[in-house]
């Protein structure tokens, strides 16, 4: 007698399972999914609020911006029969699964839609049923709305996400959605495979609950804050590129008061404004990269950092500008960002 087996392969890694002695080896051949974040130019264009457009969809790619994701995976299911102890592929079913997720800046509850294309089948690949389940974590639960469907036809479903109440100042840990595809067919041993979404996180740091894609950089603007803006521009003219949306590396925000103070002391501690700066009212030492970044202080070589004497009013304006950027963008510890100057 020949035993029927479903061997699924999808767009994420799955380890082979050691079979019992004498049975066939079942393995899933998994192809990687590329991750594409919004370009620095896109991040820089979003300084006034959340990006207006959702992430662009591309096959075998996870595309993200600060508040949306499109994940489009190709899934191949191999139908294997073990004949006289030898596993032989006798059919396939290949389809794509496309997920569209939009997070909310002012709510920690949101939804996701996904579509499964009609499968291209060969041999005994016809008649396979698929079910999809999604799970989340770290304070957020996911409920999948999808009934089992035959791969012979296209289908669609959705996921609703609900996050438990968060006190002000709360930052939930980063997490991902985990998708599991289960395949069944009468007379065959079932199989499953799965993959994950991009990383996201919910918080109520400033008193407004919301969630964001943590790996998608955003940008804060220093344009219009004269001496601070000028200092950053001069640094970039000399070759400083950190935080520059025009080809530079992103900075990473840091929430640690002690380390922030250490960074500030490292470059401004004990310094007094020279007489000409005092006469101009520029008595405050301002550092770039900001002290509240993992690149702050003397973490970078001297060619990649600078200090500028500014007025107390400019310093206060900068602080308000940063807060009014971080709040709607939900920029938390170690999140990447650029500085427009």
Q: Residues 36, 65, 44, 244: is their CA dihedral positive or negative?
A: negative
> Are 181 and 36 members of one domain?
yes
Instruction: Identify the domain containing residue 41 by its residue range.
Output: 3-213
Task: Take residue 73 and report the two structure tokens written for it.
Answer: 């995976």
Domain count, the chain: 2
> Are 173 and 226 members of one domain?
no
pTM for this model (two decimals) = 0.87
Domain end point (choices 213, 248, 263): 213
> Are 85 and 72 members of one domain?
yes
Domain end point (choices 168, 190, 213): 213
> Are 145 and 198 members of one domain?
yes
Domain end point (choices 157, 183, 213): 213
- Strand pairing class (68-83; 61-65): antiparallel
- Give helix 226-237 / helix 312-329 axis angle, nearest 10°: 80
- From the list 130, 180, 178, the residue with the least C-alpha distance to 155 is 130
CA distance 3 to 330: 53
pLDDT in tens, the chain (341 residues): 334 455 444 444 344 444 333 332 222 233 445 667 777 766 666 654 555 578 888 888 999 999 999 999 989 888 888 777 777 888 888 999 999 999 999 999 999 999 999 999 999 889 999 999 999 999 999 999 999 999 999 999 999 999 999 999 999 999 999 999 998 888 788 888 889 999 999 999 999 999 999 999 999 999 999 999 999 999 999 999 999 999 999 999 999 999 999 999 999 998 999 999 999 999 999 999 999 999 999 999 999 999 999 999 999 999 999 999 999 999 999 999 999 99
Task: Take residue 187 and report the two structure tokens written for it.
Answer: 């007379």
CA distance 286 to 267: 9
> Are 294 and 227 members of one domain?
yes
> Are 9 and 66 members of one domain?
yes
> Are 206 and 226 members of one domain?
no
Q: How long a stretch of residues is the chain? A: 341
Q: Are 341 and 222 in contact (CB under 8 A)?
A: yes
> Are 155 and 279 members of one domain?
no
> Are 206 and 259 members of one domain?
no
> Are 222 and 165 members of one domain?
no
> Are 232 and 195 members of one domain?
no
> Are 8 and 89 members of one domain?
yes
């Amino acid at each position: 007698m020949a035993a029927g087996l479903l061997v699924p392969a999808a767009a994420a890694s799955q380890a082979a399972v050691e079979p019992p002695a004498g049975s066939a080896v079942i393995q899933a051949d998994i192809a990687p999914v590329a991750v594409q974040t919004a370009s620095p130019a896109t991040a820089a264009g979003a300084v006034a609020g959340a990006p207006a457009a959702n992430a662009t969809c591309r096959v075998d790619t996870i595309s993200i911006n600060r508040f949306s994701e499109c994940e489009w995976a190709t899934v191949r299911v191999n139908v294997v029969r073990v004949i006289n102890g030898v596993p032989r592929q006798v059919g396939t079913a290949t389809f794509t699964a496309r997920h569209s997720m939009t997070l909310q800046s002012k709510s920690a509850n949101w939804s996701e839609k996904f579509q499964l294309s009609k499968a291209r089948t060969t041999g005994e690949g016809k008649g396979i049923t698929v079910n999809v389940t999604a799970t989340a974590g770290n304070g957020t639960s996911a409920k999948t709305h999808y009934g089992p469907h035959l791969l012979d036809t296209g289908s669609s479903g959705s996921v609703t996400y609900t996050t438990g109440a968060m006190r002000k100042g709360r930052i939930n840990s980063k997490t991902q959605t985990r998708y599991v595809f289960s395949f069944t067919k009468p007379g065959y041993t079932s199989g499953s495979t799965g993959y994950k979404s991009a990383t996201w996180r919910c918080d109520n740091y400033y008193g407004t609950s919301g969630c964001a894609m943590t790996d998608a950089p955003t940008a804060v603007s220093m344009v219009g804050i004269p001496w601070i803006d000028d200092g950053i521009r001069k640094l970039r003219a000399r070759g400083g590129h950190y935080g520059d949306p025009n080809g530079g590396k992103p900075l990473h925000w840091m929430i640690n008061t002690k380390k922030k103070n250490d960074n500030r002391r490292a470059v401004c501690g004990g310094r007094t404004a020279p007489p000409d700066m005092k006469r101009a009212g520029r008595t405050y030492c301002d550092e770039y990269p900001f002290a509240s970044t993992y690149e702050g202080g003397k973490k970078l070589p001297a060619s990649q950092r600078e200090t500028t004497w500014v007025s107390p009013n400019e310093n206060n304006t900068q602080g308000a500008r940063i807060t009014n950027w971080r709040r709607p963008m939900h920029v938390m510890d170690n999140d990447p960002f650029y500085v427009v100057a």
